Amino acid sequence: MNTTPRRPLAPYVGRPDRRGRFGPYGGRYVPETLIPALDLLAQAFDAAWRDTGFQQEYRRLMHEFAGRPTPLYLAERLSHKWRRGQIYLKREDLNHTGSHKLNNTIGQILVAVRSGKKRVIAETGAGQHGVATATVAARFGLKCDVYMGKVDVERQAPNVARMKLLGARVIPVESGAQTLKDATNEAIRDWVAHVDDTYYIIGSVVGPHPYPYMVRQFQRVIGEEAKRQFNDQIGRLPDLLVACVGGGSNALGFFTAFMKDACVRMLGVEAAGCGLKSGRHAASLSGGRVGILHGSAAYLLQTEDGQITVPHSISAGLDYPGVGPEHSYLKDSGRVTYTSVTDREALDAFSALAELEGILPALESAHAFAAVKKLPASVKRDHVIGVCLSGRGDKDMATVMAAREEARKNPKRKSH
């Protein structure tokens, strides 16, 4: 595994350089036909982000439509049971549509409308980004097509139904592994063919510049709210922040506001699936090498000759063979520590949060909680941990119940 940067890291300034790179990561590796569209998108986003009217409309929708700010909640029973300090949850599951994804789609739909687009497309794995895209498309009266791997269509049926009820067309992708990577491939092909009238709402901090930076900027509201809430509720900043990492938007949204606070440590949690040694995982930072996927350079799961390998996670939203370029930079710089947890550990954490706090977390978020449980038991009782509860677990009920039934039928089977 290559764990060293391909060139010396430039100082971190919180935004990409003029080439759209975070150090050696990011950039634009796309067909020439998309370069003008990406240039126009970067200009449109920069102009919108600096525009007071845009910011006012974005904040109004985030408050009146999305329901922000989301609460910061002390999980008292979980904290007492696990004895890892005081565990606070940033409740993105209470955001409209049930996850952090709407923060990004509200921002991008406003850019799309300003750009005169009449149709939006999206890729989705767990379905939460698809639901959030369908939601804003309905709100603004734009046509919406969502690409989703056939495997994910089957295991995320509730979100497929939501997208259809919202007026979106869900397009099952039957190529490759039929999951998120393949859905992204098809969405990019669609955009290349319809770039004049179509806006592609990418759901995470991945893809060609300006998407990784733009998505992060729309998600940073998570951490900005949390920072104020920690100061208001406990009078200081937390000692540790924890968030799951697939593409990585909820984690960067949570971490960015604290990046310059040296007293705050940060832990990103990837999906170890059946275990890193098994080869069946989705932990790009923990078990990958630097390569190029979907228009940018970052850590990827790939063979020695550069072929993308099939990822595995019980969580559809983490089942992706790459990660955002900013996360790749933060790994190499050491500012953020990255770890991974298995499917079994995530399921156990899911059960703990449900039974102790009355909250059903998304399986993505359950990975973050599993990492908290694995922290050393020697932490002080006043140690404050903030966890991004990125989404709710309604969508994962069939998966969780199937896993429990499998465990019941095979009680002696070794857990990963």
DSSP letter for each residue of 143-179: EEEEEEEHHHHHHTHHHHHHHHHTTPEEEEE-STTSS
CATH code 3.40.50.1100 region(s) in the chain = 22-62+101-215, 67-98+220-409
Active-site residue (options: 90, 92, 117, 123): 123
Please tell me the chain's helix, strand, coil percentages from 3-state DSSP, rounded to the nearest 5: 45, 20, 35
Longest dimension (CA), the chain: 61
User: What does the pLDDT read at residue 32?
Assistant: 93
What pLDDT, on the 0 to 100 scale, is given for residue 183? Answer: 94
pLDDT of residue 8: 60
What does the pLDDT look like over 179-221, one tens digit per residue?
A: 889 999 999 999 999 999 999 999 999 999 999 999 999 999 9
Q: Output the pLDDT for position 2.
A: 44
3-state DSSP call for residue 338?
strand
The span from the CA of 94 to the CA of 69, in Å, is 9
- pLDDT for 10: 67
SS3 294: coil
Cis peptide leading into 411, omega within 30 of 0?
no
List 92, 357, 390, 395, catalytic entry = 390
* 123 assigned to active site: yes
pLDDT tens digit sequence for 284-308: 999 999 999 999 999 999 998 889 9
- Per the CB < 8 A criterion, the answer to whether 190 and 121 are in contact is yes
Is 101 among the residues known to form the active site?
A: yes
Dist. CA 403–CA 274, nearest whole Å: 13
Rounded to an integer, what distance in angstroms lies between the CA atom of residue 198 and that of residue 217?
A: 22
Whether 90 is a known active-site residue: answer no
pLDDT at 381: 83
Report the relative pairing of strands 25-26 and 72-74 from DSSP bridges.
Answer: unpaired
Residue of 90, 101, 181, 395 marked catalytic? 101
**Cα 338-342-344 angle, rounded to 5 deg:** 150
In Å, how far are 14, 128, 149, 393 from 157, measured between CA atoms?
Answer: 38, 11, 12, 13
β-strands 119-124, 143-149 pairing = parallel
- CATH assignment of 22-62+101-215, given 3.40.50.300, 3.40.50.10800, 3.40.50.2300, 3.40.50.1100? 3.40.50.1100
Answer for the pair 296, 27: CB distance below 8 angstroms, yes or no: yes
The pLDDT of residue 1: 39
Strands (E), 45-161: 72-74, 86-91, 119-124, 143-149
The number of CA neighbours under 13 Å toward the Cβ of 258 is 30
- Quick check: 242 and 218 in contact, CB under 8 A? no
What residues in the chain have per-residue pLDDT under 50? 1-5, 415-416
**pLDDT at res. 155:** 85
Q: What are the beta bridge partners of residue 387?
A: 89, 242
Residue type, 382: D
Q: Which fold has domain 67-98+220-409?
A: Rossmann fold (3.40.50)
Cα separation, 5 vs 2, whole angstroms: 8
